[in-house]
Amino acid sequence: MEQDKYSVGLDIGTTKIVAIIGRENEYGKIEVLGIGRSKSLGVHRGVVNNITQTIQSIQQAVEEAEVNSGLKIGPVVVGIAGQHIRSLQHSDYITRADSEEVINDEDLDKLCNQVYKLVMLPGEEIIHVLPQEYKVDGQAEIKQPIGMYGGRLEAYFHVVVGQVSSIKNVGRCIKSAGLNLGKITLEPLASSDAVLSTEEKEAGVALIDIGGGTTDLAIFKDGIIRHTAVIPFGGGIITEDIKEGCSIIEKQAELLKIKFGSAWPGENKDNEIVSIPGLRGREPKEISLKNLSKIIHARVVEIIEQVYVEIKNYGHEEQKKKLIAGIVLTGGGSQLKHLKQLVEYITGMDTRIGYPNEHLAGDTDEELTSPLYATAVGLLMNAVKDGDKEMTSQEGEVQEEMAYAEQEGTGGEKKPSGERKSVFDKWSEKLKDFLDNAE
């Protein structure tokens, strides 16, 4: 199979690293060709804290995915999370030289690139610049200004910022594992691509992705990303609490949580007890399920309340900003029993569990449609989308001219040749960078 026909998403999580290889089938769905996963050993709360171990874990996941699919992995799209991520709102504008010409992609690129030059706090770097809505010559609430006339193009942006060192460390791990870094994407954005429907994003929805080390939040309204946050607690800290509260080892605590854990303590009777083998000849331990769920409940309430503070910060309580579709829970932590009920109880918002099956081909392995893989599937979708973009930009000038005429509506203005070349130039520069990095 040709190199450019498939893409790779790599989710570097706190508990697991997942590499998924896939491509788009003829129905526009994602067909998964191979998957590899390994235990993540060098990541704490979403941030790489041991480069060597992370590289080994990545290599293990990648090898498994390659063996699984019989393909070689090239550039990968990687997710980033961690408590160093913050987001801010920013507005910016450009004045166009020629208001007789319609606004095109280049104007939007110019405006976005201008935002990337914003001065951040020392040690911070911009990861994403996401335009929310545009203004053309003072006319507000424009979702897509391409093809309009106007002299002043203005936009409100959602800017996601992270620590340079953390981003570099992720890049370093990818490189040392023998891969090429295609692009870094914010994990909550990837998860939301995989599990949210367009209708939900329109109506207003909060996606809560409960991972091992972090809980990520992404809020959409009117189809536009409005707020993102990363909270440095996840399923791992619940396991820690069980370990401390019941004086057992981590492995047993994790198993207890998965098999018997519940976020709602009223559920268990006082006499329900689980016996756990003691360490090396010691007596077995008896643990009451009521206590277990009390421990879990306390920590889950804390995590949900922190997320709810973020949802309120966005302004959910204002009529205009109301999230009609409520909350969607995903990630491994969302599989905790009775979590949905607890979240509804705390926030008073409609809640559902999000499975990443919306965009996957029908015959996908059942395991992959578990909330565990939401981020990985979202990153793969991102990679496929980027692959498509690059493919189209290299299709050559003829197709591009035709596509442009179609986009303008037939008889639209033809794109001047200088501009057409620039897209091509951009692509060849990308390729050059890519080859330089590959050495």
Task: Give the pLDDT of residue 411.
Answer: 41
Pairing of strands 351-353, 327-330: parallel
User: Would you say the C-alpha torsion 302, 322, 379, 339 has a positive or negative sign?
Assistant: positive
Rounded CA separation 42/50 (Å):
4
CATH class of 235-300: alpha beta
Task: Give the pLDDT of residue 415.
Answer: 39
Task: Give the pLDDT of residue 429.
Answer: 57
Beta bridge partner(s), residue 276: 285
Task: Give the pLDDT of residue 4.
Answer: 52
For the chain, the three-class secondary structure string (H helix, E strand, C coil) is CCHHHCEEEEEECCCEEEEEEEEECCCCCEEEEEEEEEECCCEECCEECCHHHHHHHHHHHHHHHHHHHCCCCCEEEEEECCCCCEEEEEEEEEECCCCCCCCCHHHHHHHHHHHHCCCCCCCEEEEEEEEEEEEECCEEEECCCCCCCCCEEEEEEEEEEEEHHHHHHHHHHHHHCCCEEEEEEEHHHHHHHHHCCHHHHHHCEEEEEECCCCEEEEEEECCEEEEEEEECCCHHHHHHHHHHHHCCCHHHHHHHHHHHCECCHHHCCCCCEEEECCCCCCCCEEEEHHHHHHHHHHHHHHHHHHHHHHHHHHCCCCHHHCCCCCEEEECHHHHCECHHHHHHHHHCCCEEECCCCCCECCCCCHHHHCHHHHHHHHHHHHHHHHHHHHHHHHCCHHHHHHHHHHHCCCCCCCCCHHHHHHHHHHHHHHHHHHHHHHC
Rounded CA separation 128/159 (Å):
6
In the chain, what are the domain boundaries? 235-300
Task: Give the pLDDT of residue 199.
Answer: 95
Task: Give the pLDDT of residue 386.
Answer: 84
Task: Give the pLDDT of residue 345.
Answer: 95
Task: Give the pLDDT of residue 387.
Answer: 80
- Each of the 439 residues of the chain gets a pLDDT tens digit; together they read 444 578 999 999 999 999 999 999 898 899 999 999 999 999 998 899 999 999 999 999 999 999 999 999 889 999 999 889 999 999 999 999 988 899 999 999 999 999 999 999 999 999 999 999 999 999 998 999 999 999 999 999 999 999 999 999 999 999 999 999 999 999 999 999 999 999 999 999 999 999 999 999 999 999 999 999 999 999 999 999 999 999 999 999 999 999 999 999 887 777 889 998 888 888 899 999 999 999 999 999 999 999 999 999 998 889 999 999 999 999 999 999 999 999 999 999 999 999 999 889 888 888 889 999 999 999 999 999 888 777 666 654 434 444 444 444 444 443 333 333 444 455 555 555 655 554 4
Task: Give the pLDDT of residue 269.
Answer: 74
Whose structure tokens read 């709602």?
A: 264
Prediction pTM value: 0.84
Angstrom CA distances, 153 to 156, 224, 350, stand at 11, 19, 38
Task: Give the pLDDT of residue 427.
Answer: 53
Task: Give the pLDDT of residue 395.
Answer: 56
Contact between residue 38 and residue 57 where contact means Cβ atoms under 8 Å apart? yes
